[in-house]
Structures are given as C-alpha cells and as structure tokens.
C-alpha cells in the first residue's frame, strides 16, 4: 500500500529501490508517528474537519497502536511503504472510512519531519542521561584517586606531574561542553514543523500552535518552506552533538589503550574485562576500548556524511533526504552503547600506585625545581638555565614535593565547581515541557 498510489502499479524494482531501508528505520519512529497523529486529529476536530465522535474512535485506536509500538510489536507489513502508511492502513482496516480522514492538512513530508524531531528530541534526552551517568562516575574516580600521581606527557615525551584525579576530572568537564552542543541540538529539534504539509502550507484552517502545545514543543518552525528545510539540518546538528560526545570517548579510550600497555602500565582491568590472543598466552588486550575508539571515530564522520548528502540541494523536499535516516537513527544507539561500556569498565578500573617513584620519571619534576628557585627570588630565565644545566651535567636531583594550589590543578581539582557547571546545563534543557506529550496517550 502506498499513500500516493492511484490506478497503476509501480515496477517492483523501482519500488524496492525507492523504499530502501525505510521499513527498517521507520520502526524506530512508530510511537512518534502515532503521537503526531493524535495531536493532528485533535487539532482537526477543533477546526471542524473531524467530528467529536470521529475523534474519539480515532484517538482510541491510535492509543492501541501506540501501545503496540511501545511494546516493540509494531510491524510494517510487506508491501507497505513506510510507518505513516502502516498506521493509516491499520486505522482504515479497523475503522473504515474514518481512518482515511487523518491525513487532511498534512503531507508525509511534515509527518516524517515531526516523527524525526520527536525521535531526536527523545534520543537527545536519553543521551544526556547517559552522559550524566558517566560524568558522575568520572567525578567519583577523580576524587577517589586525587592523590595518585600520574605522568603528564607532551609530544609523547614525559613532561610534568599529573594525577589520576586531574585525568578523570578532565574527561568529566569535557562532557559538560559536549552537553552544550547536545543542548543546542535539542533546541533545534524542539520546534514543531507539523502543518507545513509538503512545504508550502495548506488551505485548511489549521491551528499549528495547538499541535505545538500538544506535542510539548518549545516553539514552531513558522515559515512552512523553512520547516521543510529543517529536514536534514536537524539531523546534521544532532549528528554534531553525537560526534562531540564521541570525540571525548575516543580520546579517553585512546588514553586507556596507552596506559594499559606495559610501556606505561598506569592502569589495568580485571582479566574478565579484557580479551586474549590465540597464540600469545600472556595477552590482556583492551579490545573494548579499541572498539569504542573506532566506533567513536566512525561517529565523528557522521556530520560530514550528512553534510555531503545535503550539499547543493535546493529548497523543497527531495528523496535524497530519506537516506539520512539510515545514518542518524542507529547512531544514537551506538553512542549510548559506547557510553555505557565506558562506564561499565571504568567502574572496575585498577589504578597503579607510586608510578612516579620510577627513576625514569624523575625529570617530570624539573619544573618544580625551576619554580622553587623563582620563589626564592631568582628570575625565571636564570632558574630555567640553572636546572637545565644540572640536567645536562647529570647533577639534577628531583624535588618530588608537589604543591599545586590554583584552580584546576593537582591540589585543587575544583570538582564541586565542575559539578555545578553540569547542573546548570542540565537545568537549561527544561525536559519537563516535552513530557506533556505523554498526555496524548494517558
């Protein structure tokens, strides 16, 4: 069944190619398609395009379909083109002619737009929750290991003293900036395109502000042409948000892979969390973090993939946009999987102690020696030269007493302030308004 089909049969090969993976990806949109339809029919009744009796029976059946979708039992039957067609087919099959009335005043163009925006809004909320859970763990680890010194590197050369507290805390604060981008994506997704129809509005007296309120959107995409232009743009901005979180996980995973190697030996995990070799019995490989690193690299490419699909595309709907669903829909599951696995392993991390006691790391304390000279009244350049000559002549003896007190240093991690930053960004999402959508199926 095709909503646009008339008195001829499209060739199977053309049909299969144009439908593509819609029937698979649309399963993720089913509950949102139903919610959009409920809001739409409530609005249609309010402007006289449905009777109250028709609204009641349509609403009741849509609630049944919604429950099926929530339970993961919704199916798009063979020969049905997409989720919109399947929902209308189910309504018509059960209710007869009244089921055909739900499409008045809208197009599949604005249907899929509202489905995607509701899906992305919901996924960004879940992503925010997963980020917060990892953030809390990183802060916990930062506090737990704040006195465990670690070697800091620049250019892969030993550089200065760091600490596990500083290292874990760095990734915690990185996630806050990632959530700033997630928040921007949420704001873009949280605008209602429904009622823009095929992108040029309709002669029906629709009340678009009503559907905006019913669906818990923050605002409208007012201009109907621009509403259609947000298809692809919304997904691209959401992809940037995903890629930012992925970038933090990618770097963290790369650090872990280095720090687990015998050359570093800064941390490890119980053997049950690692994998082995088929011929080398001593191996404990960080396969999970290697896969996280690779998956997050792939996610980092996602905005570029979407940008290239959108490149040189004029305004109005084009079928190219269909392919973007295949990129963005599974990306949310992949980034959440990476967040969960990162947290799962870090909960079991084994941090090495007394790392900096090894003589090969003695030069990381050279800056401490220079700073001590400066505090005793020597100019920085003279102090630098003095300690440098000691190193050259083999006379240098490290001063391993670390006194870093400024904000964000080893001795003053500012984790409380970092937690406050996180709380402020979380409050700015205002997820509560979006929860109003649940009233449609209450």
Catalytic residues: 155, 277
Helix (H, G, I), strand (E, B) or coil at 351: strand
Q: How far is CA 130 from CA 49, 70, 173, 245, 414, in A?
A: 43, 21, 15, 11, 23
Helix (H, G, I), strand (E, B) or coil at 219: strand
Q: Which residue has the tokens 């406050």?
A: 420
Dig out the tokens for 307 from the structure: 């940008």
Closest CA to 285 of 262, 308, 251, 314: 262
Beta bridge partners of 268: 350
**In whole angstroms, what is the distance from residue 308 CA to residue 19 CA?**
21
Q: Phi, psi (5° rounding) for residue 326?
A: -65, -25
Dig out the tokens for 374 from the structure: 């400066």
Dig out the tokens for 407 from the structure: 């904000």
Beta bridge partners of 192: 220
**In whole angstroms, what is the distance from residue 373 CA to residue 377 CA?**
7
Beta bridge partners of 254: none
**In whole angstroms, what is the distance from residue 5 CA to residue 134 CA?**
49
In the DSSP assignment, the letter for residue 285 is B
């Amino acid at each position: 069944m095709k909503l646009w089909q008339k008195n001829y049969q499209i060739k199977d090969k053309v049909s299969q190619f144009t439908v593509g993976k819609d029937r698979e990806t649309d399963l993720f949109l089913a509950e949102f398609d139903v919610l959009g339809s409920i809001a739409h029919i409530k609005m249609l009744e309010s402007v006289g395009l449905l009777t109250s009796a028709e609204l009641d029976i349509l609403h009741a059946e849509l609630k049944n379909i919604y429950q099926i979708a929530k339970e993961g039992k919704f199916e798009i039957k063979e020969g049905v083109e997409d989720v919109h067609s399947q929902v209308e087919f189910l309504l018509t099959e059960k209710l007869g002619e009244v089921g055909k009335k739900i499409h008045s005043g809208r197009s599949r163009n604005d249907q899929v737009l509202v489905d995607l925006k509701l899906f992305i809004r919901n996924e960004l909320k879940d992503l925010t929750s997963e980020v917060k859970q990892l953030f809390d763990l990183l802060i916990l680890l930062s506090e737990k290991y704040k006195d465990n010194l670690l070697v800091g590197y620049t250019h892969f050369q030993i550089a200065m003293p760091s600490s596990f507290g500083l290292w874990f805390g760095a990734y915690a604060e990185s996630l806050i900036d990632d959530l700033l981008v997630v928040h921007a994506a949420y704001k873009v997704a949280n605008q209602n395109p429904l009622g823009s129809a095929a992108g040029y509005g309709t002669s029906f007296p629709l009340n678009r502000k009503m559907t905006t309120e019913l669906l818990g959107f923050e605002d409208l995409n007012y201009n109907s042409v621009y509403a259609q232009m947000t298809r692809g743009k919304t997904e691209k901005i959401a992809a940037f948000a995903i890629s930012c979180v992925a970038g933090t996980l990618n770097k963290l995973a790369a650090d872990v892979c280095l720090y687990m190697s015998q050359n570093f030996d800064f941390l490890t995990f119980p053997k049950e969390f690692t994998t082995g070799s088929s011929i080398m019995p001593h191996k404990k490989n960080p396969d999970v973090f290697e896969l996280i690193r690779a998956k997050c690299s792939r996610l980092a490419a996602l905005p570029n993939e979407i940008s290239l699909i959108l490149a040189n595309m004029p305004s109005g709907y084009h079928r190219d946009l269909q392919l973007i669903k295949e990129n963005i829909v599974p990306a949310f599951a992949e980034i959440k999987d990476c967040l969960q696995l990162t947290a799962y392993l870090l909960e079991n991390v084994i941090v090495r102690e007394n790392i900096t006691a090894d003589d090969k790391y003695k030069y990381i304390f050279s800056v401490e020696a220079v700073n001590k000279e400066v505090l005793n009244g020597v100019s920085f350049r003279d102090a630098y030269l003095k300690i440098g000559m000691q190193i050259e002549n083999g006379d240098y003896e490290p001063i391993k007493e670390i006194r870093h007190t400024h904000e964000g240093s080893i001795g003053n991690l500012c984790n409380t302030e970092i937690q406050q930053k996180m709380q402020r960004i979380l409050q700015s999402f205002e997820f509560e308004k979006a929860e109003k959508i649940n009233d449609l199926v209450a």
